[in-house]
Homo-oligomer: A and B are copies of this chain.
């Protein structure tokens, strides 16, 4: 089969790690007789520098025509502390999510046995953890109205959610729970927020359509604590955009390394796959960043295209690299391999 894949390397370490993910996909194409046509496009700080816009029109239209999108990372410190910046890299990613209708971000969190020692958490706490976070991605305070008073002394962010926005991701999360351990936890702040109460009410009303799923509720502050105290209690976590952002980064510590966490953003049509680590500008260009999350994002991409054998080939290669400690310095400080060496090993192994 032939697939068109849009590749958006983005900022910081994005280009380096995405290159390894491409390598893995090319190896898969070779072995399994597929043809992937990769087209690269700009987004983020690099796009602002080159075109003035964080998401150039060509990037958006390329994405719309593609079967899937492989994305690296976004963001650059030169924009972070400049309150006067009119455009910011992140706007590119947010607009892409919105324009492609990528309302559902799926973040699997697993404790890899080989990496358990790297986690700040005790082995007995994390061993066996297997969570998927379903984060709403195109609503909430991320996309509400933003205002700054004329005299610049009062700022405002609006947060809204509709029943429709809640239901469409909730159906996906309920179904995922049915295919897993049949437990769904809604995380909200219903004791304070109107939007959270709408989430709780909507999900509660849906529960009878999924009688085999055990539904429970947790306030976000408590969830932030429970994720560390006892991560094994969770199966599927469903939550709104901002809470999902915070909790999924927090949960990344469980696996022993954020360098292994991939995510899928799905929705109306074309889906996007990205590592959850950011652009990590300090490491950019040094060929030292961990490419595994990007490579595992490519595995999620294959799965999404229905290529399950192919996806497993990648996951197996990644596990082999961990077993043999062919890893970058974050996992293997004593005998570190470079980003591209790890990518080479994985492509060869496939």
How far, in whole Å, are A157 and B194 apart by their CA atoms in the complex?
6
CB-based contact A154/B158 at 8 Å: no
Q: Mark A148-173, 1 if CB is under 8 A from B, else 0.
A: 10001111111111111000000000
Q: Which residue of B lies closest to A164 (CB)?
A: B153
CB-based contact A224/B246 at 8 Å: yes
Q: Which of A132-161 contact B (CB under 8 A)?
A: 141-142, 146-148, 152-161
Q: Which of A110-139 contact B (CB under 8 A)?
A: 120-122, 125
CB-based contact A197/B155 at 8 Å: yes
Which of chain B's residues have a CB closer than 8 A to the CB of A245?
189, 220-221
Q: Does A195 contact B (CB under 8 A)?
A: yes
Q: Does A184 contact B (CB under 8 A)?
A: no
Which of chain B's residues have a CB closer than 8 A to the CB of A154?
160-163, 198
Among A161, A191, A195, find the residue whose CB has the most chain B CB atoms closer than 10 A.
A191
How far, in whole Å, are A202 and B326 apart by their CA atoms in the complex?
46
Q: For the complex formed, measure the closest distance between the CB of A42 and the CB atoms of chain B, giving whole angstroms.
A: 18
CB-based contact B141/A81 at 8 Å: no
Q: Does A90 contact B (CB under 8 A)?
A: yes
How far, in whole Å, are A159 and B144 apart by their CA atoms in the complex?
10
Q: Does A23 contact B (CB under 8 A)?
A: no
CB-based contact A142/B81 at 8 Å: no
Q: Which residue of B lies closest to A188 (CB)?
A: B80
Which stretch (A56-64, A249-257, A283-291, A338-346) binds chain B?
A: A249-257
Q: Does A29 contact B (CB under 8 A)?
A: no
CB-based contact B201/A83 at 8 Å: yes
Residue in B122, B163, B221, B252 whose CB lies within 8 Å of A120:
B122
Q: Does A217 contact B (CB under 8 A)?
A: yes
CB-based contact A193/B162 at 8 Å: no
Q: Mark A67-84, 1 if CB is under 8 A from B, else 0.
A: 000000001000111010
How far, in whole Å, are A227 and B204 apart by their CA atoms in the complex?
33
Known: A225-B249, A228-B253. A195 touches B157 (CB 8 A): yes
Would you list the 9 A-B pairs with minimal beta carbon distance, nearest first? A155-B198, A224-B250, A221-B249, A146-B194, A83-B201, A120-B125, A155-B194, A155-B195, A156-B160
Residues of A within 8 A of B (CB): 75, 79-81, 83, 88-90, 94, 120-122, 125, 141-142, 146-148, 152-164, 189-195, 197-198, 200-201, 204, 217, 220-222, 224-225, 227-230, 242-243, 245-250, 252-253, 258, 278
Beyond known contacts A158-B158, A222-B278, A225-B250: 10 more, CB 8 A cutoff: A75-B191, A81-B204, A148-B198, A154-B160, A155-B194, A155-B197, A156-B195, A157-B193, A157-B195, A224-B247
